[in-house]
Amino acid sequence: MTTAPPEPVVIDLVARFGRLILITGALLVLIGLGSVAAIFLPGLDAVAQITLVGAGLVIGGLGVALLTMLRNRPRAAILVDPVGLTLDRPEGAAILNWDDLASFEILRQRGSTDFYHVKFRPSTEVFAAAHPELADLREADAYRYNIGPYRASARRLEAAVIRFRPELRLGIRTLGWSERP
């Protein structure tokens, strides 16, 4: 009896940001509508009514702008599967086979908000020529990809790499306050 390969893992790096924009935009639209509707309250003079309408239009307009931005947000995700890693970035996707990677680690940079980075080293000298789309991530002999301030995303990524290629995993390393990733 053969076992099926593990299911691919997708780590969406902008999902939380999208939910935050959706909630904030919806709240601003509701506050803007409430402000405009408040002009019908008894006892308001003309200046107060004009002020409420102006504030409502500005606040509601900000909410609509946020909701429009949500629709046009860039994509950023990491797919981990038996073949390797796929970095789906706004600049385009890059498929990295497991055999092309010599090491893989997640760095936690301490600060007022912790920030996580993926750092991987290629196993061959021709990696840079084979992946020109990753030139902006290159730092000396390694590549660094920011995954944001979300610890849950970093832990899911670490668990996925352990599942598919445990020999590559170097863990989540915490950097000191003054260290650069």
Last residue of a domain, one of 23, 41, 71: 71
Cβ(70)–Cβ(25) under 8 Å?
yes
CATH number at residue 117: 2.30.29
**100 and 150 both lie in a single domain:** yes
Last residue of a domain, one of 71, 87, 120: 71
Dump pLDDT digits (tens) for 141-169.
889 888 888 788 888 888 888 888 888 76
The token pair that represents 39 in the structure block = 């002009």
Residue 59 included in any domain = yes
Dump pLDDT digits (tens) for 127-138.
888 888 888 888
Indicate if the pLDDT at residue 93 is higher than 70.
yes
173 compared with 118, residue with greater pLDDT:
118
**131 and 89 both lie in a single domain:** yes
Cβ(34)–Cβ(56) under 8 Å?
yes
Strand partners, 10: 79
H or E stretch covering 87: strand 84-89
* Residue-range definition of the domain harbouring residue 18: 11-71
**Nearest of 64, 48, 55, 50 to residue 34 by alpha carbon:** 55
Q: What's the number of domains the chain is made of?
A: 2
Q: Please give the pLDDT value at position 1.
A: 56
**20 and 50 both lie in a single domain:** yes
Max mean pLDDT among 5-19, 69-83, 106-120 falls in: 106-120
Backbone angles phi, psi at 148, to 5 degrees: 100, -170
**117 and 43 both lie in a single domain:** no
**113 and 38 both lie in a single domain:** no
Q: Please give the pLDDT value at position 58.
A: 92
pTM: 0.68
CB neighbours (10 Å) of residue 89? 19
Residue 28 included in any domain = yes
The token pair that represents 41 in the structure block = 């309250």
The token pair that represents 35 in the structure block = 């402000």
**61 and 126 both lie in a single domain:** no
**141 and 91 both lie in a single domain:** yes
Query: What is d(CA 122, CA 69) in angstroms, rounded to the nearest whole number?
Result: 36
The token pair that represents 102 in the structure block = 């010599």
